[in-house]
Amino acid sequence: MRQSFLFTKTRKEAPADEAARNASLLIRGGFVHKEMAGVYAYLPLGLRVLEKIKQIVREEMDAIGSQELIMTSLQRKELWEGTDRWSDEMVDVWFKSELKAGGEVGFGWSHEEPVGNMMRSYINSYKDVPVTVYQFQTKLRNELRAKSGVMRGREFVMKDAYSFAAGEADHTLMYEQMKVAYMNVFRRVGLGDDTYITFAAGGAFTEFSHEFQTVCEAGEDVCYIAKEKGIAVNEEVMNDATLASLGVTREELVVNKTDEVGNIFNFGSQKAADLNLTMMTETGESVPVWMGSYGIGITRLLGVIVEKYADEKGMVWPKAVAPFHVHLVGLNLDDAEIRDYANGIYASLQALGIEVLFDDRDARAGEKFADSDLIGIPYRMIVSKKSKTEGLFEVVQRKSGEVKKLSESDVAAYFSGNSTW
């Protein structure tokens, strides 16, 4: 894409009321627009990152046989009353409204109750399961404090999945497959080394739920981590009983600030029993379905990636989620001959299937470099009078600052390497 055409601009300053570094950088880079605290619009650059994260999650969900759908944002009060989760005392993040025609509705902060209820129309017998569905949805939560930028939105994109099985064996299989799929996601987006399956407060059915916590200074959680053993414990369940049941000692655990990028819940058959979601067994008995619930904070993940990897110059995107792979920065473009030449290089990179943002703007070199650092595309390639004369391009890796001089035939191989950066 040509930067002269790209909708949005970079800015020198973020809004004064923006406290979070992730949102400040995203706003300054032209990735998001702040509507109000905890509410952000995704502009073309931000949307490209969001869609890349979603696509990775989609591939991992599809790979374990989960099927995509979209549920509704408006939800029925009666469904949540049935499980005692309608009142603000039980769930403190509800947004609610009234229908003009009469009656109350809730705005979806989770879809456990609606999906369980929906499945009553589709699951009647053991032959109808196992089934797992997922969606990407904008959840609405009336968060009291929304000071962490896109890491804690009042409106945010979640991937939520729900599994339904006839018994413990199939149910456990899906739960374990989800754990693997989730770790694949976090590895692929560039957070694998710092994300831990973490023991956290459970629910009605299990002692623990599993959170996926990423070590991050800006995170809102605190976890105790034994890196070598791969064990992490949320401080909320950090006590002698937990330590004993996990077989670790306090001395083995190091305290870290972390952020919860995912959370999975094993409901056993309790949730379906509450929702009256039952099926016929082979022997003709009516039993509740076994259910699991699995969430990833898609927009939170984007924020965590910004926080973890940004440096003093701006954002640094791992290749897998970067809005473009190469930032082609054109210099001396007021010279018609150089402009033609630069356009040719841009076209040939595109023809190679490389995602290129071409800075063809009429701006000073210093401004272009500063913007390029801020936007954080993995490679910057300079096309200029000098590169035309030399037949070599200066290529800078954003993450390491490493500079290479490459010929046109060498750049493609260099960009298509398998590294995270």
CB of 6 to ligand ATP, least distance (A): 26
In the complex, the smallest distance separating the C-beta of residue 139 from ligand ATP, rounded to whole angstroms, is 7
Q: Encoding tokens for residue 261? A: 């990028």
Q: Which residues contact 187 (CB under 8 A, 6 or more apart)?
A: 195
Question: Of 383, 287, 269, 251, which is closest to residue 327 (Cα–Cα)?
Answer: 383
Roughly what angle, to the nearest 10 degrees, separates helices 44-63 and 298-309? 120
Binding-site string for ligand ATP from residue 144 to residue 183, where x marks contact by CB under 6 A and - marks none: --------xx--x-x-------------------------
User: How many residues contact ligand ATP, by CB under 6 A?
Assistant: 15
Q: Report the chain's terminal Cα–Cα distance, integer Å.
A: 21
Residue 163 interface partner, choices Mg ion, ligand ATP, none, CB cut-off 5-8 Å depending on type: none
Give, to the nearest 10 degrees, the angle between helix 298-309 and helix 21-28. Answer: 90
Q: Tally Cβ neighbours within 10 Å of residue 415.
A: 20
Q: Which is nearer to ligand ATP, 22 or 299 (CB)?
A: 299
Which of 141, 210, 325, 380 is in the footprint of ligand ATP by CB under 6 A? 141
CB of 95 to ligand ATP, least distance (A): 12
Q: At how many degrees (to 10) do helices 168-188 and 44-63 cross?
A: 140
Minimal distance, residue 421 CB to ligand ATP, in Å: 24
Q: Which of the choices ligand ATP, Mg ion, none does residue 143 contact, using the CB cut-off of 5 to 8 A by kind?
A: ligand ATP
- Where are the extended beta strands (E) located within 111-165? 131-140, 155-165
Please identify, using beta-carbon distances, which residue of 135 and 263 lies nearer to Mg ion: 263
Beta strand pairing call for 254-266 and 208-215: antiparallel
Q: How many whole angstroms separate alpha carbon 186 and alpha carbon 28?
A: 26
Q: Rounded to the nearest whole angstrom, what is the least distance from the CB of residue 306 to Mg ion in the complex?
A: 21
Give the one entry of ligand ATP, Mg ion, none that residue 262 binds, where binding means its C-beta sits below a cut-off of 5 to 8 angstroms depending on kind.
ligand ATP
Residue 293 as a binder of ligand ATP (CB under 6 A): the answer is: no
Q: Which CB sits closer to ligand ATP, 159 or 368? A: 159
Which residue from 315, 261, 373, 420 is spatially nearest to 22, judged by alpha carbons?
315
| Site track 229-268 with ligand ATP (rule: CB under 6 A), x = hit | -------------------------------xxxx-----
Residue number, 190 or 262, with CB nearest to Mg ion: 262
Identify which of 306, 282, 277 has the alpha carbon closest to the alpha carbon of residue 40.
306
What Rg, from alpha-carbon coordinates, does the chain have? Answer: 24
Binding site for Mg ion (CB under 5 A): 263
**Rounded to the nearest 5°, which phi and psi values hold at 308?**
-70, -35
Q: Which does 152 bind (CB under 5 to 8 A by kind): ligand ATP, Mg ion, none?
A: ligand ATP
CA gap 301, 192 in Å, rounded: 12
What minimum distance in Å lies between the beta carbon of 211 and ligand ATP? 7
In Å, how far from its chain's centre is CA 187?
Answer: 12
Whether 71 contacts 107, CB under 8 Å: no
Which position among 297, 314, 323, 376 is part of the footprint of ligand ATP (CB under 6 A)? 297
Q: To the nearest whole angstrom, how small is the minimum distance from the Cβ of residue 269 to ligand ATP? A: 21
The least CB distance from residue 20 to ligand ATP, in Å, is 12
What is the smallest separation between the CB atom of 393 and ligand ATP, expressed in angstroms?
40
Q: Give me the residues paired with residue 161 across strands.
A: 134, 294
Find, among 377, 404, 378, 376, the residue nearest to 392 by Cα: 404
Site for ligand ATP in 84-123 (CB under 6 A): 110
- In the complex with Mg ion, the residue whose CB is nearer, 263 or 384, is 263
Contacting positions for ligand ATP (CB under 6 A): 110, 141, 143, 152-153, 156, 158, 260-263, 295, 297, 299-300
